[in-house]
Structure 1
Amino acid sequence: MVGLAGVIATAAALEDGSALAHSAHSSWTYPSACCHGDPVTGECGKIPSTTVTPRPDGYVIILRRPGDHQKVTHQDRYFVPYDAVIPSGDDNFHICLHPTEEHENCFFAPADAI
């Protein structure tokens, strides 16, 4: 598992202050490299904590239904190694699906879950 400092550095590198980033509907903004600045297609969004399972080597995310994320139309499974996890700006899990729901671009976890 990569240390929190490495994950924070990765998140800072992703967030370039571009006008393309969009809000996470709370007090923070998704890095533009994660969401491609397209709030219309809803590439990034909060997901239920029940869809996330920690394993020794990373997180397994299973989005089962459309209500789990705005892009989901059928069950999808993702694996994100701990060194690719970005701290979320709130106490929730978030995922960015781009260019389709089949591909996870960025995954955010609460600081206490990293």
Structure 2
Amino acid sequence: MASLAGVIATAAVLEDFSVFAHNAEAGWTYPPACCHGDLTTGECGKIPGSSVTPGPEGYVVILRPGDHQKVTHQDRYFVPYDAVIPSGDDNFHICLHPTEEHENCFFAPEEAM
């Protein structure tokens, strides 16, 4: 009985988190652990491929105002290859949380991985 209660509690928590996830422009959904808002105020969004540079250990991402809805000044992020999540389209995406200085999730197209 205890394990059934745990499953029900976990499902309830996941359902609550799904309220905060939102879809990318292409229609796929950012994982709830990555996104905590809607399309306008959410932390996740598509970024220009020109802002992403592959390196020996991972991606270097340099974002400027206008590249992402949360970016107000130039920011630099390093994302190790083992932390990259496949995107649901042919674009790069990033989730910035709790502030624009913190990369929470990074998505890359299949052909870039």
The answer to whether TM tops 0.5 is yes
Aligned residues: 97
Q: CA RMSD in A?
A: 1.3
Looking at CA atoms only, which structure, 1 or 2, has the larger radius of gyration? 2
Greater relative contact order structure (CA < 8 Å, 6+ sep): 1
- Listed as ranges, the gaps of 5+ residues in structure 1 are 1-15
Question: What's the counterpart of residue 51 of structure 1?
Answer: 51
Distance 2:83 2:103 in 1: 11
Question: What's the counterpart of residue 111 of structure 1?
Answer: 110
- Listed as ranges, the gaps of 5+ residues in structure 2 are 1-13
Question: What's the counterpart of residue 67 of structure 1?
Answer: 66
TM-score, length basis structure 1: 0.80
Q: By how many angstroms is 1:87 displaced?
A: 0.2
Identical positions, percent: 78
Distance 1:70 1:96 in 2: 10
Distance 1:53 1:67 in 2: 18
Structure 2 SS opposite 1:33: coil
Moved over 4 A (4+): none
Q: By how many angstroms is 1:109 displaced?
A: 0.1
